């Protein structure tokens, strides 16, 4: 028996030592001599076991008349042909914290080690390279760090290697070139750097190669084309550049082709539909590809996902792109694609064949002309529809309301006219509705208040008129509301000022709103940005506004507000910008503003404020404070150029 297998473990109990001393020369006792201590060492380095999964890992429970009772411990499976030897250790997804014991390297018969989905830290023990029988090693979704141990290249029988989603650094060890039997190689979502080794092309058993979301650089090696069994190739979210080697487009076994978020360039071969016949996912999201989208993509009968967002593709979208009927995701946003004539929109008719289509993204292109009614004939499973940032004209088809699963509807920044169809109010699952920067007119449909799941409602920069619907008070999940730069009139409904879920912004600026700011505004206790500027709001600023303690930006300028600045504003210490200019406010400049340390812009100009100006804190910085064109201000720092305040004797105060 090799001495290194019997090294004493400081953290093991005296009982374990006695067990070792009384072991026989049988196979089971030999295994007990190093398998049991290895397991106990593993347990000793676990600092948290929230589910109590290792509570059965005690020597008493291993007794029961047997020297290898540990085979019944949670997560432990022993070999039938080699009794007492641990064959598999599966402890995935149970929230374990701590480090991995190097003594696991003594488990000479171990075939499966799965510690994934825990909270393990520290390095991967190099001693795992001694587990020569290992077939499956899964350490993914932990917080392991340091470099990949080169000794793991000794695992010549390894079939699955997954260490994705950790904090691993360094490069891919050259010793991994000896992993001839590996079929799954995943180091995704780490900090691995360096170039993709060409010798990966020699691991011809590979079916799944995933190095995405790392810091890999350089070019994509042509040698990867030798992986004739490869089904999944994920190289996305790295720093790769240059051309994709043409030979990679001939890898007919590929099902997933993901090179997104790199600096890759070039154009796509026009015959890609015949050279990659088994493709299910094709993603080049955020690269520098140009040229036209090959119409042959429509010939791939299995293709489900086309993701080409963020490139420089131009020309027309192939009219038959959806003829296979299998597309679920169609993402072409942020390119230079064109549509000028009605026939250029024929691809929508083709997409209507795709009964499981869930995402259509055409935003930020050069699409123009009239949006055809066929946009409302797509799959009822549609969840995302984005056509914003183009030059599309026409009306929103009323049939949009049939997409009952829709969560994102984005028609913003186009040339749409007409009214907003009340049909949209049927979209009960909608989370985001973006219709800003168009030419919509008429009133806001009351039915929009039926979309109870809505998070963001942006209708700004249109010609909408009438009053703000009180039905918006039903939008209890709303975090952002922007109705700015329209022709809305009337009072702000108290129902809107009572939407306590508003947390990001409320922007009603540049309208024709009048009347008072309702005291209900104090219910917006989570709001960060409020902009009611450039309206005709009157009366005093409600004291309840001081309850909105999460405010960072408050804009009330350009109204008809009067009275004093409420002393309750003292509670708004998170303010970074406060603009009350161009109103009819009177009274003193509040001294408490001196201590607002986060304030970067205070504009109280063009009011009727009077009295002494504070001279410390933010008021000592001329670039922060504007007090011009007020009534009877005096004192303050010299750069304000206000007259000195008259001295009043104490008995005159």
pLDDT tens column, 43-57: 999 999 999 999 999
Q: Name beta bridge partners: 123.
A: 145
Average pLDDT of span 419-426: 95
Tokens of 87: 């064959």
Helix (H, G, I), strand (E, B) or coil at 307: strand
Average pLDDT of span 578-597: 97
Sorting pLDDT into bands at 50, 70 and 90, what band is 648?
low
pLDDT tens column, 439-474: 999 999 999 999 999 999 999 999 999 999 999 999
CA dist 465 and 442 (Å) reads 6
Domain presence at residue 22: yes
Domain presence at residue 70: yes
Domain presence at residue 320: no
pLDDT tens column, 149-180: 999 999 999 999 999 999 999 999 999 999 99
**What is the extent of the structural domain holding 8?**
1-92
Nearest C-alpha neighbor of 148 from the set 135, 131, 166, 130 = 166
Average pLDDT of span 33-45: 92
Sorting pLDDT into bands at 50, 70 and 90, what band is 10?
very low
Query: Across the chain, what does the average pLDDT equal?
Result: 93
Q: Residue 287 has what pLDDT?
A: 98
Average pLDDT of span 358-383: 97
What total of structural domains would you count in the chain?
A: 1
Distance linking the first and last C-alpha atoms of the chain: 99
Average pLDDT of span 274-299: 98
Strands, E, within 151-202: which ranges? Answer: 160-162, 167-169, 184-186, 193-195
pLDDT tens column, 229-259: 999 999 999 999 999 999 999 999 999 999 9
Q: Is 323 in contact with 353 (CB distance < 8 Å)?
A: yes
What count of residues does the chain have? 653
Sorting pLDDT into bands at 50, 70 and 90, what band is 646?
confident
Q: What are phi and psi of 98, to 5 degrees?
A: 130, -160
Average pLDDT of span 296-316: 98
> Sign of torsion, CA 315 220 146 88?
positive
pTM greater than 0.95 (yes/no): no
Q: Residue 84 has what pLDDT?
A: 87
Radius of gyration (C-alpha) of the chain in whole angstroms = 34
Instruction: Kindly tell me if the per-residue pLDDT of 182 is higher than 80.
Output: yes
CA dist 584 and 601 (Å) reads 20
CA dist 211 and 233 (Å) reads 9
Sorting pLDDT into bands at 50, 70 and 90, what band is 649?
low
CA dist 190 and 184 (Å) reads 17
List, in order, residues 6 or more apart from 308 with CB less than 8 Å away: 282, 283, 284, 285, 289, 293, 331, 332, 335
Domain presence at residue 1: yes
Q: Residue 166 has what pLDDT?
A: 99
> Sign of torsion, CA 431 436 438 442?
positive
Tokens of 116: 């994934």
> Sign of torsion, CA 250 251 256 259?
negative
Q: Residue 205 has what pLDDT?
A: 98
Phi-psi region of 268 (alpha: psi -120 to 50; beta: other; left: phi over 0): beta
Q: Residue 59 has what pLDDT?
A: 84
Sorting pLDDT into bands at 50, 70 and 90, what band is 438?
very high
Instruction: Kindly tell me if the per-residue pLDDT of 334 is higher than 70.
Output: yes
Q: Is 297 in contact with 323 (CB distance < 8 Å)?
A: no
Average pLDDT of span 8-19: 37
Q: DSSP secondary-structure letter at 546?
A: G
Domain presence at residue 347: no
Domain presence at residue 52: yes
Q: What angle do CA 190, 194, 197 make, to 5 degrees?
A: 105
Instruction: Kindly tell me if the per-residue pLDDT of 193 is higher than 60.
Output: yes
Q: DSSP secondary-structure letter at 123?
A: B
Domain presence at residue 11: yes
* CA atoms within 13 A of residue 126's CA, in its CB half-sphere: 7
Instruction: Kindly tell me if the per-residue pLDDT of 113 is higher than 50.
Output: yes
Q: Residue 12 has what pLDDT?
A: 39
Instruction: Kindly tell me if the per-residue pLDDT of 4 is higher than 90.
Output: no
**Structure-token match 């082709």, residue found:** 257
Domain presence at residue 158: no
Instruction: Kindly tell me if the per-residue pLDDT of 23 is higher than 90.
Output: no
Average pLDDT of span 107-125: 98
- The least confident of 51-60, 283-292, 545-554 is 51-60
Sorting pLDDT into bands at 50, 70 and 90, what band is 206?
very high
Q: Residue 83 has what pLDDT?
A: 87
């Amino acid at each position: 028996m090799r001495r290194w297998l019997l090294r004493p473990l400081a953290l093991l109990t005296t009982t374990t030592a006695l067990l070792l001393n009384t072991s026989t020369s049988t196979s089971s006792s030999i295994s007990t001599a190093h398998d049991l201590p290895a397991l106990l060492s593993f347990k000793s380095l676990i600092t948290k076991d929230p589910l109590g999964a290792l509570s059965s890992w005690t020597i008493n429970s291993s007794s029961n008349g047997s020297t290898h009772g540990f085979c019944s411990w949670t997560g432990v499976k022993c070999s039938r042909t080699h009794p007492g030897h641990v064959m598999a250790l599966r402890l995935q997804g149970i929230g374990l914290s701590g480090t991995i014991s190097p003594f696991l390297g003594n488990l000479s018969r171990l075939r499966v080690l799965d510690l994934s989905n825990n909270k393990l830290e520290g390095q991967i023990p190099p001693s795992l390279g001694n587990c020569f029988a290992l077939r499956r090693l899964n350490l993914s979704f932990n917080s392991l760090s340091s470099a990949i141990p080169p000794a793991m290249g000794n695992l010549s029988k390894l079939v699955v290697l997954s260490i994705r989603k950790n904090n691993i650094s360094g490069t891919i060890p050259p010793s991994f070139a000896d992993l001839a039997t590996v079929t799954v190689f995943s180091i995704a979502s780490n900090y691995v750097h360096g170039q993709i080794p060409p010798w990966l092309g020699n691991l011809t058993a590979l079916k799944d190669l995933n190095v995405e979301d790392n810091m890999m650089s350089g070019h994509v090696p042509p040698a990867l084309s030798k992986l004739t069994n490869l089904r999944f190739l994920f190289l996305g979210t790295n720093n790769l550049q240059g051309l994709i080697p043409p030979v990679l487009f001939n890898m007919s076994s590929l099902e997933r082709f993901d090179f997104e978020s790199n600096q890759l360039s070039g154009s796509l071969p026009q015959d890609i539909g015949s050279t990659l016949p088994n493709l299910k996912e094709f993603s080049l999201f955020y690269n520098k590809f140009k040229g036209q989208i090959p119409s042959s993509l429509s010939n791939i009968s299995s293709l489900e996902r086309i993701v080409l967002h963020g490139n420089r593709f131009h020309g027309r979208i192939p009219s038959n792109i959806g003829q296979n009927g299998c597309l679920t995701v169609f993402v072409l946003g942020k390119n230079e694609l064109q549509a000028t004539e009605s026939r250029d929109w024929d691809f929508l008719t083709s997409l209507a064949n795709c009964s499981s289509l869930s995402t259509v993204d055409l935003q930020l292109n050069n699409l123009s002309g009239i949006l055809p009614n066929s946009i409302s004939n797509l799959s009822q499973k549609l969840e995302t529809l984005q056509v914003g940032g183009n030059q599309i004209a026409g009306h929103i088809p009323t049939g949009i309301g049939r997409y009952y699963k829709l969560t994102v509807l984005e028609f913003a920044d186009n040339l749409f006219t007409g009214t907003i169809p009340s049909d949209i109010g049927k979209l009960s699952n909608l989370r985001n509705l973006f219709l800003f920067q168009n030419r919509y007119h008429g009133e806001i449909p009351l039915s929009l208040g039926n979309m109870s799941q809505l998070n963001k409602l942006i209708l700004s920069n249109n010609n909408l008129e009438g009053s703000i619907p009180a039905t918006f008070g039903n939008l209890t999940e709303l975090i952002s509301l922007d109705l700015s730069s329209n022709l809305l009139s009337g009072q702000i409904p108290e129902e809107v000022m009572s939407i306590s879920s508003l947390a990001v912004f409320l922007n009603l600026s540049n309208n024709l709103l009048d009347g008072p700011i309702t005291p209900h505004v104090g219910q917006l206790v989570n709001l960060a940005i409020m902009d009611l500027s450039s309206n005709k709001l009157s009366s005093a600023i409600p004291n309840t506004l001081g309850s909105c303690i999460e405010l960072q930006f408050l804009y009330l300028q350009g109204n008809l507000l009067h009275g004093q600045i409420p002393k309750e504003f003292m509670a708004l210490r998170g303010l970074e910008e406060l603009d009350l200019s161009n109103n009819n406010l009177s009274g003193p400049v509040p001294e408490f503003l001196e201590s607002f340390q986060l304030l970067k812009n205070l504009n109280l100009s063009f009011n009727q404020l009077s009295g002494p100006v504070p001279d410390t804190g933010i008021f000592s910085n001329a670039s922060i404070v504007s007090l011009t064109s007020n009534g009877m201000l005096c004192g303050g720092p010299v750069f304000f150029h206000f007259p000195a305040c008259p001295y009043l004797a104490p008995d005159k105060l």
